[in-house]
Amino acid sequence: VERAIRPLALTRKNALFAGSDGGAGHWAVVASLVETCKLNGVEPQAYLTDVITRIVAGHPQSNIDDLLPWAYAPQPLRAVA
């Protein structure tokens, strides 16, 4: 467990300079999402890119649970015409 959180613990010092309590809270949410992705075998950058794209494209709020890292299934790539 200590090895899994070590990269997070090393960057925690940087969170002290987040600028505000709100900034530190946002950093904590993103750090938590990244670590949850890693624990569930999901590539964090691809996950965040896809989830944000889906939300902007109008993903229904009633199905928001589908976008959580442990239930995440990437959309198949579409062919560009």
- The count of domains in the chain is 1
**Phi then psi for 43, rounded to 5 degrees?**
-75, 115
pLDDT digits (tens, 9 = 90+) for 31-76: 888 888 888 888 989 999 999 998 999 989 888 888 888 888 766 6
pLDDT at 70: 86
pLDDT for residue 35: 85
pTM: 0.66
Distance of alpha carbon 67 from alpha carbon 47, whole angstroms? 9
Q: Per the domain annotation, does 77 fall within a domain?
A: no
Overall size of the chain counted in residues: 81
- Confidence (pLDDT) at 49: 92
The answer to whether residue 57 sits within a structural domain is yes
d(CA 39, CA 44): 10
The predicted structure's pLDDT at residue 36: 87
Residue of 48, 10, 13, 55 lying closest to 29 (CA atoms): 48
Query: Is residue 80 in some structural domain?
Result: no
Residue span of the structural domain in which 51 resides? 2-71
